[in-house]
Amino acid sequence: MLEVGKDESFFLLQEELGISPFEQRFPWIGGDLQTLRDTFISEGLPNENGKAIQIEVPSLPNGRASKGHLLILLDLPTSSSQPCGVVLLLHGLGGSSRRLGLRRMAFALLNAGFAVLRVNLRGADPGRHLAGGTYAAECNSDLGPVIIYARELCNVLSKQFHSPRPSLPLFGAGISLGGTMLLNACLQVKQKDKPLLDGLVCTSSPLDLQACSSSIERPRNRVYQRWLLKRLIRQTLADPFGVHDCEKEFLLTSSKNSALKTIRSFDAAITAPRWGYKDVDDYYKKASPLLKICEECRALPPLLFLQALDDPWVPAEGAKKIAESIVVKNLTRFQVVLTKNGGHNGFHGIKGCWGDLLVKRWLLKLSKYYFNS
Protein backbone atom coordinates (compact mmCIF):
# COMPACT_ATOMS: atom_id res chain seq x y z
CA MET A 1 0.00 0.00 0.00
CA LEU A 2 1.03 3.57 -0.62
CA GLU A 3 2.12 5.21 2.61
CA VAL A 4 1.02 8.82 2.77
CA GLY A 5 3.93 11.18 3.10
CA LYS A 6 6.45 8.62 1.85
CA ASP A 7 5.49 8.60 -1.83
CA GLU A 8 8.33 10.13 -3.85
CA SER A 9 6.09 11.13 -6.79
CA PHE A 10 3.86 13.09 -4.39
CA PHE A 11 6.82 15.13 -3.13
CA LEU A 12 8.01 15.71 -6.71
CA LEU A 13 4.52 16.89 -7.70
CA GLN A 14 4.33 19.30 -4.77
CA GLU A 15 7.78 20.68 -5.57
CA GLU A 16 6.93 21.02 -9.24
CA LEU A 17 3.69 22.87 -8.49
CA GLY A 18 5.24 25.02 -5.76
CA ILE A 19 2.87 24.08 -2.95
CA SER A 20 3.44 22.92 0.63
CA PRO A 21 1.87 19.80 2.17
CA PHE A 22 -1.72 20.20 3.34
CA GLU A 23 -2.25 21.47 6.89
CA GLN A 24 -5.70 21.68 8.45
CA ARG A 25 -7.02 25.10 9.36
CA PHE A 26 -8.35 25.66 12.89
CA PRO A 27 -11.12 25.16 13.90
CA TRP A 28 -11.88 22.84 10.96
CA ILE A 29 -10.00 19.88 12.38
CA GLY A 30 -10.87 16.32 11.36
CA GLY A 31 -12.74 14.81 8.43
CA ASP A 32 -16.26 15.80 9.51
CA LEU A 33 -15.55 19.47 10.18
CA GLN A 34 -13.52 19.69 6.97
CA THR A 35 -16.53 18.24 5.13
CA LEU A 36 -19.10 20.50 6.80
CA ARG A 37 -17.16 23.77 6.76
CA ASP A 38 -18.77 25.07 3.54
CA THR A 39 -22.23 24.39 4.99
CA PHE A 40 -21.56 26.65 7.98
CA ILE A 41 -19.46 29.39 6.39
CA SER A 42 -20.23 31.71 3.49
CA GLU A 43 -17.30 33.35 1.74
CA GLY A 44 -17.19 36.75 0.09
CA LEU A 45 -17.18 35.50 -3.49
CA PRO A 46 -18.24 37.83 -6.32
CA ASN A 47 -21.91 37.97 -7.26
CA GLU A 48 -23.23 35.43 -9.75
CA ASN A 49 -22.63 36.76 -13.27
CA GLY A 50 -22.04 33.71 -15.47
CA LYS A 51 -23.58 33.72 -18.93
CA ALA A 52 -26.51 31.27 -19.00
CA ILE A 53 -26.41 28.74 -21.83
CA GLN A 54 -28.95 25.98 -22.52
CA ILE A 55 -27.76 22.76 -24.15
CA GLU A 56 -30.25 20.21 -25.45
CA VAL A 57 -29.97 16.66 -24.12
CA PRO A 58 -31.84 13.51 -25.27
CA SER A 59 -34.54 11.58 -23.44
CA LEU A 60 -33.66 9.03 -20.78
CA PRO A 61 -33.80 5.27 -21.45
CA ASN A 62 -37.16 3.51 -21.10
CA GLY A 63 -38.98 6.81 -21.65
CA ARG A 64 -38.49 7.82 -18.00
CA ALA A 65 -37.92 11.45 -19.05
CA SER A 66 -38.20 13.28 -22.37
CA LYS A 67 -35.46 15.35 -23.93
CA GLY A 68 -34.77 18.74 -22.40
CA HIS A 69 -31.92 21.16 -21.70
CA LEU A 70 -29.10 21.52 -19.20
CA LEU A 71 -28.25 24.94 -17.81
CA ILE A 72 -24.56 25.79 -18.20
CA LEU A 73 -22.99 28.96 -16.80
CA LEU A 74 -20.01 30.38 -18.69
CA ASP A 75 -17.51 32.47 -16.73
CA LEU A 76 -14.74 34.22 -18.66
CA PRO A 77 -11.54 35.55 -17.05
CA THR A 78 -11.39 39.30 -16.67
CA SER A 79 -7.92 39.46 -18.25
CA SER A 80 -7.78 40.55 -21.89
CA SER A 81 -5.07 37.99 -22.63
CA GLN A 82 -5.69 34.57 -24.13
CA PRO A 83 -7.36 32.12 -21.71
CA CYS A 84 -5.21 29.24 -20.48
CA GLY A 85 -7.96 26.86 -21.54
CA VAL A 86 -11.57 25.95 -20.81
CA VAL A 87 -12.50 23.97 -17.69
CA LEU A 88 -15.69 21.93 -17.54
CA LEU A 89 -16.67 21.97 -13.85
CA LEU A 90 -19.17 19.43 -12.48
CA HIS A 91 -20.85 19.33 -9.07
CA GLY A 92 -21.52 16.27 -6.95
CA LEU A 93 -24.57 14.47 -5.54
CA GLY A 94 -27.25 16.92 -4.44
CA GLY A 95 -25.17 19.88 -5.68
CA SER A 96 -25.45 22.55 -8.36
CA SER A 97 -23.58 25.50 -9.85
CA ARG A 98 -24.57 27.48 -6.75
CA ARG A 99 -22.71 25.33 -4.22
CA LEU A 100 -19.95 27.18 -2.39
CA GLY A 101 -17.20 24.63 -3.04
CA LEU A 102 -17.84 24.63 -6.77
CA ARG A 103 -18.09 28.43 -7.01
CA ARG A 104 -14.88 28.87 -5.04
CA MET A 105 -13.00 26.48 -7.33
CA ALA A 106 -14.41 28.28 -10.37
CA PHE A 107 -13.24 31.62 -8.96
CA ALA A 108 -9.71 30.25 -8.39
CA LEU A 109 -9.57 28.98 -11.96
CA LEU A 110 -10.88 32.28 -13.36
CA ASN A 111 -8.18 34.19 -11.47
CA ALA A 112 -5.62 31.85 -13.02
CA GLY A 113 -6.83 32.75 -16.52
CA PHE A 114 -9.15 29.85 -17.37
CA ALA A 115 -12.62 30.11 -18.86
CA VAL A 116 -15.02 27.98 -16.78
CA LEU A 117 -18.23 26.16 -17.72
CA ARG A 118 -20.24 25.32 -14.60
CA VAL A 119 -22.65 22.51 -15.45
CA ASN A 120 -26.01 22.00 -13.76
CA LEU A 121 -26.75 18.32 -14.29
CA ARG A 122 -30.23 17.02 -15.11
CA GLY A 123 -32.54 17.89 -12.25
CA ALA A 124 -30.18 20.23 -10.40
CA ASP A 125 -31.16 23.78 -9.49
CA PRO A 126 -31.17 26.35 -10.97
CA GLY A 127 -31.92 24.33 -14.15
CA ARG A 128 -34.56 22.04 -12.61
CA HIS A 129 -37.26 23.46 -14.88
CA LEU A 130 -35.38 22.72 -18.11
CA ALA A 131 -35.21 18.91 -18.11
CA GLY A 132 -37.14 16.04 -16.61
CA GLY A 133 -35.57 13.26 -14.62
CA THR A 134 -32.39 13.20 -12.56
CA TYR A 135 -28.71 12.48 -13.18
CA ALA A 136 -26.60 9.38 -12.51
CA ALA A 137 -22.94 8.48 -12.01
CA GLU A 138 -22.89 7.46 -15.66
CA CYS A 139 -24.83 9.96 -17.77
CA ASN A 140 -22.85 10.05 -21.01
CA SER A 141 -25.87 10.88 -23.16
CA ASP A 142 -26.20 14.14 -21.21
CA LEU A 143 -22.50 14.97 -21.03
CA GLY A 144 -21.86 14.27 -24.72
CA PRO A 145 -23.64 17.42 -25.99
CA VAL A 146 -22.03 19.48 -23.22
CA ILE A 147 -18.54 18.37 -24.23
CA ILE A 148 -19.29 19.03 -27.91
CA TYR A 149 -20.32 22.59 -26.99
CA ALA A 150 -17.22 23.01 -24.82
CA ARG A 151 -14.94 21.93 -27.70
CA GLU A 152 -16.64 24.41 -30.01
CA LEU A 153 -16.10 27.12 -27.39
CA CYS A 154 -12.39 26.22 -27.32
CA ASN A 155 -12.25 26.81 -31.07
CA VAL A 156 -14.14 30.11 -30.85
CA LEU A 157 -11.97 31.51 -28.05
CA SER A 158 -8.81 30.45 -29.88
CA LYS A 159 -9.83 32.48 -32.93
CA GLN A 160 -11.05 35.39 -30.82
CA PHE A 161 -7.68 35.71 -29.06
CA HIS A 162 -5.58 34.85 -32.15
CA SER A 163 -4.05 31.80 -30.53
CA PRO A 164 -1.21 30.03 -32.38
CA ARG A 165 -3.12 26.78 -31.74
CA PRO A 166 -6.36 25.99 -33.62
CA SER A 167 -8.12 25.33 -30.32
CA LEU A 168 -7.68 25.97 -26.61
CA PRO A 169 -7.27 22.89 -24.38
CA LEU A 170 -10.40 21.50 -22.74
CA PHE A 171 -9.99 20.28 -19.16
CA GLY A 172 -12.42 18.70 -16.73
CA ALA A 173 -12.71 19.12 -12.96
CA GLY A 174 -15.23 17.00 -11.09
CA ILE A 175 -16.15 17.43 -7.45
CA SER A 176 -17.20 14.16 -5.81
CA LEU A 177 -19.69 12.36 -8.13
CA GLY A 178 -18.96 14.95 -10.83
CA GLY A 179 -15.49 13.43 -11.22
CA THR A 180 -17.01 9.95 -11.54
CA MET A 181 -19.28 11.20 -14.34
CA LEU A 182 -16.39 12.73 -16.27
CA LEU A 183 -14.30 9.59 -15.84
CA ASN A 184 -17.12 7.45 -17.21
CA ALA A 185 -17.56 9.80 -20.15
CA CYS A 186 -13.86 9.63 -21.00
CA LEU A 187 -13.90 5.83 -20.73
CA GLN A 188 -16.96 5.22 -22.87
CA VAL A 189 -17.30 8.09 -25.36
CA LYS A 190 -14.59 7.03 -27.78
CA GLN A 191 -12.67 9.40 -30.05
CA LYS A 192 -10.44 8.29 -32.90
CA ASP A 193 -7.27 10.22 -32.31
CA LYS A 194 -7.24 11.63 -28.77
CA PRO A 195 -8.94 11.46 -25.35
CA LEU A 196 -12.23 13.23 -24.82
CA LEU A 197 -10.58 15.83 -22.55
CA ASP A 198 -7.03 17.20 -22.41
CA GLY A 199 -6.80 16.70 -18.65
CA LEU A 200 -9.07 15.75 -15.76
CA VAL A 201 -9.05 16.35 -11.99
CA CYS A 202 -11.22 14.24 -9.68
CA THR A 203 -11.64 15.57 -6.14
CA SER A 204 -13.05 13.14 -3.55
CA SER A 205 -14.67 11.17 -6.38
CA PRO A 206 -16.30 7.75 -5.88
CA LEU A 207 -14.51 5.08 -7.91
CA ASP A 208 -16.44 2.12 -6.48
CA LEU A 209 -20.12 2.95 -5.97
CA GLN A 210 -20.87 -0.14 -3.90
CA ALA A 211 -18.06 0.71 -1.48
CA CYS A 212 -19.33 4.29 -1.22
CA SER A 213 -22.87 3.07 -0.60
CA SER A 214 -21.63 0.87 2.25
CA SER A 215 -19.58 3.75 3.66
CA ILE A 216 -22.45 6.25 3.73
CA GLU A 217 -24.69 3.63 5.39
CA ARG A 218 -22.43 3.37 8.45
CA PRO A 219 -24.21 4.47 11.67
CA ARG A 220 -21.78 7.38 12.11
CA ASN A 221 -22.98 8.79 8.74
CA ARG A 222 -26.71 8.71 9.57
CA VAL A 223 -27.05 12.49 9.53
CA TYR A 224 -25.17 12.83 6.23
CA GLN A 225 -27.34 10.21 4.54
CA ARG A 226 -30.57 11.75 5.82
CA TRP A 227 -29.49 15.17 4.52
CA LEU A 228 -28.57 13.81 1.08
CA LEU A 229 -31.79 11.82 0.81
CA LYS A 230 -33.93 14.85 1.62
CA ARG A 231 -32.21 16.79 -1.15
CA LEU A 232 -32.59 13.96 -3.66
CA ILE A 233 -36.27 13.37 -2.84
CA ARG A 234 -37.06 17.09 -3.00
CA GLN A 235 -35.19 17.41 -6.31
CA THR A 236 -37.03 14.43 -7.79
CA LEU A 237 -40.53 15.47 -6.69
CA ALA A 238 -39.96 19.04 -7.92
CA ASP A 239 -39.74 17.80 -11.53
CA PRO A 240 -42.06 20.15 -13.50
CA PHE A 241 -42.35 17.52 -16.25
CA GLY A 242 -43.96 15.09 -13.83
CA VAL A 243 -42.93 11.98 -11.93
CA HIS A 244 -44.15 8.47 -12.77
CA ASP A 245 -46.93 7.34 -10.47
CA CYS A 246 -44.92 4.41 -9.11
CA GLU A 247 -41.97 6.69 -8.34
CA LYS A 248 -44.13 9.34 -6.71
CA GLU A 249 -45.96 6.80 -4.56
CA PHE A 250 -42.68 5.28 -3.40
CA LEU A 251 -41.08 8.63 -2.56
CA LEU A 252 -44.13 9.99 -0.72
CA THR A 253 -45.09 6.85 1.20
CA SER A 254 -41.54 5.89 2.08
CA SER A 255 -40.99 9.27 3.70
CA LYS A 256 -43.85 8.36 6.05
CA ASN A 257 -43.12 4.69 6.72
CA SER A 258 -39.31 5.01 6.63
CA ALA A 259 -38.92 2.52 3.75
CA LEU A 260 -36.53 4.92 2.04
CA LYS A 261 -33.64 5.01 4.47
CA THR A 262 -30.55 4.80 2.26
CA ILE A 263 -29.00 6.21 -0.90
CA ARG A 264 -28.96 2.64 -2.19
CA SER A 265 -32.75 2.33 -1.85
CA PHE A 266 -33.16 5.62 -3.74
CA ASP A 267 -30.85 4.40 -6.50
CA ALA A 268 -32.73 1.09 -6.66
CA ALA A 269 -36.13 2.77 -7.05
CA ILE A 270 -35.19 5.88 -9.07
CA THR A 271 -31.69 6.13 -10.53
CA ALA A 272 -31.12 2.58 -11.85
CA PRO A 273 -34.46 2.15 -13.72
CA ARG A 274 -34.41 5.69 -15.07
CA TRP A 275 -31.03 5.12 -16.71
CA GLY A 276 -31.81 1.67 -18.08
CA TYR A 277 -29.98 -0.56 -15.59
CA LYS A 278 -31.33 -3.98 -14.65
CA ASP A 279 -31.16 -3.20 -10.93
CA VAL A 280 -29.09 -1.22 -8.44
CA ASP A 281 -26.30 -3.81 -8.38
CA ASP A 282 -26.04 -3.60 -12.17
CA TYR A 283 -25.91 0.20 -11.91
CA TYR A 284 -23.20 0.23 -9.25
CA LYS A 285 -21.09 -2.29 -11.16
CA LYS A 286 -21.31 -0.67 -14.59
CA ALA A 287 -21.07 2.95 -13.40
CA SER A 288 -18.01 2.36 -11.19
CA PRO A 289 -14.89 3.39 -13.13
CA LEU A 290 -12.26 1.85 -10.80
CA LEU A 291 -11.58 -1.40 -12.67
CA LYS A 292 -11.74 0.27 -16.08
CA ILE A 293 -9.28 3.09 -15.38
CA CYS A 294 -6.11 1.03 -15.66
CA GLU A 295 -7.49 -1.44 -18.21
CA GLU A 296 -8.46 1.32 -20.66
CA CYS A 297 -5.86 3.93 -19.76
CA ARG A 298 -5.25 4.83 -23.41
CA ALA A 299 -8.73 6.34 -23.59
CA LEU A 300 -7.99 8.63 -20.67
CA PRO A 301 -6.27 12.03 -20.55
CA PRO A 302 -3.72 13.03 -17.89
CA LEU A 303 -5.47 12.46 -14.55
CA LEU A 304 -5.12 13.85 -11.05
CA PHE A 305 -6.94 12.16 -8.16
CA LEU A 306 -7.20 14.07 -4.88
CA GLN A 307 -8.42 12.04 -1.93
CA ALA A 308 -8.31 12.43 1.86
CA LEU A 309 -7.88 9.36 4.06
CA ASP A 310 -10.40 10.76 6.57
CA ASP A 311 -13.14 11.32 3.98
CA PRO A 312 -16.31 10.20 5.81
CA TRP A 313 -18.22 9.54 2.57
CA VAL A 314 -15.80 8.13 -0.03
CA PRO A 315 -13.37 5.35 1.01
CA ALA A 316 -9.76 5.98 0.02
CA GLU A 317 -9.18 2.39 -1.11
CA GLY A 318 -10.07 3.21 -4.72
CA ALA A 319 -7.49 5.99 -4.97
CA LYS A 320 -4.92 3.75 -3.25
CA LYS A 321 -5.46 1.05 -5.89
CA ILE A 322 -4.92 3.61 -8.64
CA ALA A 323 -1.71 4.74 -6.93
CA GLU A 324 -0.45 1.16 -6.80
CA SER A 325 -1.28 0.59 -10.48
CA ILE A 326 0.60 3.76 -11.42
CA VAL A 327 3.77 2.23 -9.99
CA VAL A 328 3.23 -1.30 -11.33
CA LYS A 329 2.10 -0.31 -14.84
CA ASN A 330 4.16 2.91 -15.10
CA LEU A 331 1.11 5.06 -15.82
CA THR A 332 3.01 8.33 -15.83
CA ARG A 333 0.02 10.38 -17.00
CA PHE A 334 -1.87 9.56 -13.80
CA GLN A 335 -1.14 11.15 -10.42
CA VAL A 336 -2.71 10.48 -7.03
CA VAL A 337 -2.52 12.82 -4.05
CA LEU A 338 -3.55 11.20 -0.78
CA THR A 339 -3.73 13.43 2.28
CA LYS A 340 -4.12 12.32 5.88
CA ASN A 341 -6.81 14.94 6.47
CA GLY A 342 -9.19 16.96 4.32
CA GLY A 343 -12.59 15.30 4.65
CA HIS A 344 -14.92 15.11 1.68
CA ASN A 345 -14.03 17.90 -0.71
CA GLY A 346 -12.78 19.99 2.18
CA PHE A 347 -9.03 20.58 2.17
CA HIS A 348 -9.46 23.85 4.06
CA GLY A 349 -5.88 24.91 4.80
CA ILE A 350 -3.96 27.68 6.49
CA LYS A 351 -4.09 29.96 3.43
CA GLY A 352 -7.50 29.03 2.08
CA CYS A 353 -8.67 25.97 0.19
CA TRP A 354 -5.57 23.87 -0.47
CA GLY A 355 -7.50 21.63 -2.86
CA ASP A 356 -8.41 24.54 -5.13
CA LEU A 357 -4.75 25.61 -5.19
CA LEU A 358 -3.64 22.11 -6.18
CA VAL A 359 -6.25 21.87 -8.96
CA LYS A 360 -5.35 25.32 -10.30
CA ARG A 361 -1.59 24.70 -10.32
CA TRP A 362 -1.93 21.26 -11.90
CA LEU A 363 -4.16 22.51 -14.71
CA LEU A 364 -1.83 25.45 -15.31
CA LYS A 365 1.02 22.97 -15.71
CA LEU A 366 -1.00 21.02 -18.30
CA SER A 367 -1.94 24.22 -20.11
CA LYS A 368 1.72 25.26 -20.45
CA TYR A 369 2.61 21.81 -21.77
CA TYR A 370 -0.26 22.00 -24.28
CA PHE A 371 0.81 25.38 -25.69
CA ASN A 372 4.51 24.49 -25.74
CA SER A 373 4.14 21.10 -27.42
C-alpha distances (whole Å) from 160 to each of 80, 163, 165, 324, 330 are: 11, 8, 12, 43, 39
Q: How many CA atoms lie within 13 A of 45 on its CB side?
A: 20
As a dihedral over the C-alpha atoms of residue 360, residue 128, residue 270, residue 197, rounded to 10 degrees, the angle is -30
Q: Which of 288, 344, 348, 367 is catalytic?
A: 344
With the C-alpha atoms ordered 72, 75, 81, 87, is the resulting torsion angle positive or negative?
A: negative
d(CA 318, CA 18): 27
Q: Are 116 and 83 in contact (CB under 8 A)?
A: no
Q: Which of 75, 198, 311, 356 is catalytic?
A: 311
d(CA 353, CA 22): 10
Single-letter residue type at 199: G
Q: Are 20 and 14 in contact (CB under 8 A)?
A: yes
d(CA 117, CA 74): 5
Q: Examine the residue annotation and report whether 311 is marked as an active-site residue of this protein.
A: yes
Q: Are 309 and 316 in contact (CB under 8 A)?
A: yes
Cβ neighbours of residue 80 under 8 Å, at least 6 residues apart?
none
Q: Examine the residue annotation and report whether 9 is marked as an active-site residue of this protein.
A: no
Give me the helices (H) in the chain, please. Answer: 8-17, 31-40, 100-111, 140-160, 177-188, 209-216, 222-237, 245-257, 263-266, 272-274, 280-286, 290-295, 317-329, 354-372
Q: Which residues are catalytic?
A: 176, 311, 344
